[in-house]
Amino acid sequence: MGLMSEKTIGIIGAGAMGEALATGIVRAGLVRPADLYISDVRQERLDGLRTRLGVTPLADNKQLVSVSRVVILAVKPPVVAPVLDEIAPALTSAHTLISIAAGITLAFIEERLPPGVPVVRVMPNTPCLVGAGASAFALGRYAQTEDARRAREILEAVGMAVEVPEEHLDIVTGLSGSGPAYAYLVIEALSDGAVRLGLPRQLAIRLAAQTLYGAAKMILSSEEHPARLKDAVTTPGGTTAAGLFALEEAGVRAAFARAVEQATRRAMELSK
């Protein structure tokens, strides 16, 4: 097992997501900062992370694997195959390999590794960058409860995490992976509506964003069905009922259902 101890994590790829995960892991105290290893082809990113977080940069991916119990693959999808070929000889059944690369399947990863290496495939989203991510993960054929626990612990350091079967990950991509963009569009559209009526732009955007944030928090803290919460704020003959009717008339429900469907289809095409 060499230098590898229970409490070591390695991240390959110190880009936007790699940095978000490193920050969450250090803040949550999952490992001592020095026991979090990061590798990247860009030295300046490694230097920045060492200064900001106190993590240990390594220039060599294979060396990172040899000292880390959990290895997070956070490089862009086209780089996954060459990196797997590079690190495969160092991976063992004692590791947990967590891949966040969009569209890269468990089978694609597992066939490039020695048999027995536990793999977890994750679909995160960009709010991980502010600690409010929504991630779903699926377990590979050799992954056990302990691997799921490690993955969950890391993903919960940057938001919430749920386990799903792999065949649901494309739908998750269409829902929460692409979802922040749908929410940005809704916030922009709501604020456009208010600007049209005379509200200053910055104010309108802040009020719209806080309203979505607040509504989401109501659902997550109460676990109430959204329809119940909607009914509770819809006075008969009132303002909200009038606004909701306009949304129904425009077919907004079907439009969102189509958005999730189209994004899911695209995710399926891309992961072929």
Residue 17 · residue 128 · CB < 8 Å = yes
Supply φ then ψ for residue 37, to 5 degrees: -100, 140
Give Rg (Cα) of the chain.
Answer: 21
Contacting residue, 24, 124, 159, 179, with ligand NAP by CB under 6 A: 124
Contacting residue, 8, 10, 11, 12, with ligand NAP by CB under 6 A: 12
Give the x/- contact pattern for ligand NAP in 79-118, rule: CB under 6 A.
x---x----------------xxx----------------
25-33, 69-77, 231-239, 242-250 -> range binding ligand NAP (CB under 6 A): 69-77
Contacting residue, 17, 46, 71, 155, with ligand NAP by CB under 6 A: 17
Give the x/- contact pattern for ligand NAP in 142-181, rule: CB under 6 A.
-----------------------------------x----
If DSSP states are collapsed to H, E and C, what string results for 163-227?
ECCHHHHHHHHHHHHCHHHHHHHHHHHHHHHHHHCCCCHHHHHHHHHHHHHHHHHHHHHHCCCHH
Q: Within 13 A of 94's CA, how many CA atoms are on the CB side?
A: 15
Contacting residue, 30, 49, 74, 205, with ligand NAP by CB under 6 A: 74
75 binds ligand NAP (CB under 6 A): yes
